[in-house]
Structures are given as C-alpha cells and as structure tokens.
Amino acid sequence: MARIAYVNGRYVPKSDATVHVEDRGNQFADGVYEVLKVVGGRLSDGDRHFARLHRSLDAVRIAPPMSDAALAQVIRETVRRNRLTDATVYLQISRGPAPRDHLFPAVPHPTLIVTAKRMKRPDPAGYADGVAVVTAPDIRWLKCEIKSISLLPNVLAKQAADEQGAYEAWLLREGDVVTEASASNAFIVDAQGVLRTHPLSPVILGGVTRSVVLDLARAEGVPVAERAFTTAEIAAAREAFLTSTSSWVMPVVRVDGGVVGEGVPGPVTRRLQQAYHRHVFGNREAAPSNVAAHAAAG
C-alpha cells in the first residue's frame, strides 16, 4: 500500500509529495515541527503538542495555517488513509515558498506537511535492560525552546553517539552541565533519591513526554526537582533515564562507559515506565511484563 502524505490541502502518495524548490523550510530551515502519537485513533497528549506548536510558531512569527480543530482532523485523516490505528505522526510548518531572501516574504503562504507511519515503540532490549549514552559539547543555538527544523547539530551529535555504540548523546554546556540529549530529555535520580532534569529555559526543548513524566512522578510520590545536574552527579546517581515521544521512558545504565547506579534500570525508572504506559494506553494494553514485574518489586 502506498503511504499517504498531506501537503497543503492534498492527500497524495508519499512518493508524489512535493514542495516548492524555493520553500523557506528547505533553504533557510525556516519552520517548526512536531512529532506525536495517535493511539487507538486518539491524539496522545494532543493538547500539550498543540500548545508547544503554537509557542514555536509564535516565536518565529509564522501564522498557523489552520485552526487546531482542523489540524487535528488532518492528522486523524492522514492516519486513517494510511490504514493505521496506532501511529507516529510528523507535522511540519514552514514559512512557505518565496524568492530566496533572508527577509520574510511580504505575504507568506505557510507550507503544512503531515505524514504518518506505524507507531514507533522503544527498542525492546534497551527498554528492558537499559542503554548507554555518551556526552558531547552542546553546540546548538540559544533558542532551543523552539522546535525548529534546523537540527544539524543534533544530527551530528546523534551520529557521533551511534558511531561510539551509544543510544544517545547527552549534551553539555559550561563543560559539565547536562542540558538534554540530541533527541530526548535527560533525567537522573540523584544520590538523595530526587528525580532531576534541567529546568525549562532557552537551552532545552520542553519535551511533551518530559512534562508528562514529571506529572506522573509527582503523582507517584517521587521527589522532583527541575534542577540541572553535572557529569559528577551522574557518577553518583542511583538511576538515569531519557524521555521522548518515541523512546518513552528509556533507562540509561551507562554514561561515557561508567555504570549508573547498579547498572540496571532502577525502581523509580520502572515505576515511571509503567505509569507512562498506563497514561498512553489506559487499560487497552498491559505494560511489558518485565517492566510491570520490576515496578511491582520496587
């Protein structure tokens, strides 16, 4: 079956989907994007994703091409036309086509692209046993709170991590302060048992899964502090994990070759994996057996 994409008002086979050669998304990375899940035909955390989309659009001064209700309908229809129930959806809004000039076009015509594929689930082995990450200098710009399509520094960091046999790159500013990762947010459970992650600021993207997991942690009675941590604090941490729309709550058991805690996913991580699974699927689907068993034991 041909994959179907939505591009500027038309549903077309993905192989035939095109944008103008002078689209500012292509020439200037002048646009923003969102990645979200549709579960059972329902937008998972759609309100949080749309709120972040509006913050990004406002920051770069691009007018939304349609209302939220209309955009939600486009997303659902794209998923339906791809014969999916559970899907990962990518949507991108650029300032649109215009003769190449750094200045905004006087009358912009934003380009909207929506694609859908079978919902990406975390790597089962990593989700069960944990993954390794490496650290790298954070060379990104100073407006990381915007979900910009300009991702070259992230791409380079993720590629370097993969070439070192790691799942992700945790990014460092000021030499040793972890901001976030190339495509996810970074967490530790520190030596005092407090769940820590970098506070919202221009040097991180406020992840939707990050915000959900913080809410779930508070509901579970886990002490939470939105406070940055250093590489030295990773070495002393009890647990670590990362979060994103596609990685969910991914345990981290090694950082730069050093073992985190006992070298296995810890009890707080397991509880939050299970809580996040309930948040996404409700009673429709049980959490993986290893996650549920370890959460109960913890």
Cα separation values, 277 from 83, 176, 185, 268, 290, Å: 23, 32, 18, 14, 13
Judge if 132 and 225 occupy the same domain. Answer: yes
Q: Report DSSP state, residue 148.
A: B
Among 87, 118, 149, residue at a domain's last position: 118
Judge if 196 and 288 occupy the same domain. Answer: yes
Provide the domain count of the chain. 2
59: CATH: 3.30.470.10
Cα separation values, 203 from 174, 199, 218, Å: 12, 9, 24
Q: Report DSSP state, residue 203.
A: T
The token pair at 55 is: 């913050």
Question: Which residues partner with 181 through β-bridges?
Answer: 170
Cα 207 to Cα 247: distance, rounded to the nearest angstrom: 12
**Selected catalytic residue, list 117, 120, 147, 158:** 147
pLDDT tens-digit profile, the chain (298 residues): 679 999 999 999 999 999 999 999 999 999 999 999 999 999 999 999 999 999 999 999 999 999 999 999 999 999 999 999 999 999 999 999 999 999 999 999 999 999 999 999 999 999 999 999 999 999 999 999 999 999 999 999 999 999 999 999 999 999 999 999 999 999 999 999 999 999 999 999 999 999 999 999 999 999 999 999 999 999 999 999 999 999 999 999 999 999 999 999 999 999 999 999 999 999 888 787 566 555 555 5
Among 118, 141, 165, residue at a domain's last position: 118
Quick one: pLDDT at residue 285? 81
- Residue 108's nearest CA partner among 144, 60, 72, 73 is 60
CB atoms within 10 A of CB 215: 13
Question: Which residues partner with 135 through β-bridges?
Answer: 170
Judge if 98 and 139 occupy the same domain. Answer: no
Whether 143 is a known active-site residue: answer: no
Judge if 60 and 138 occupy the same domain. Answer: no
Judge if 167 and 247 occupy the same domain. Answer: yes
Judge if 38 and 82 occupy the same domain. Answer: yes
Question: Which residues partner with 239 through β-bridges?
Answer: 189
Judge if 101 and 139 occupy the same domain. Answer: no
Q: Which domain holds residue 182?
A: 124-297
Cα 14 to Cα 96: distance, rounded to the nearest angstrom: 19
Burial code of 82-112, b = ≥16 C-beta within 10 A, e = fewer?
bebebbbbbbbbbbbbbeeeeeeeeebebbb
Judge if 156 and 260 occupy the same domain. Answer: yes
Look at residue 51 and give its three-state secondary structure.
Answer: helix
Cα 57 to Cα 108: distance, rounded to the nearest angstrom: 13
Judge if 72 and 111 occupy the same domain. Answer: yes
**Cβ 131 vs Cβ 168: under 8 Å:** yes
Judge if 52 and 147 occupy the same domain. Answer: no
Among 118, 152, 181, residue at a domain's last position: 118
Quick one: pLDDT at residue 84? 97
Judge if 31 and 72 occupy the same domain. Answer: yes
Question: Which residues partner with 252 through β-bridges?
Answer: 131
**Cβ 218 vs Cβ 224: under 8 Å:** yes
The token pair at 279 is: 């948040």
Judge if 195 and 111 occupy the same domain. Answer: no
180: CATH: 3.20.10.10
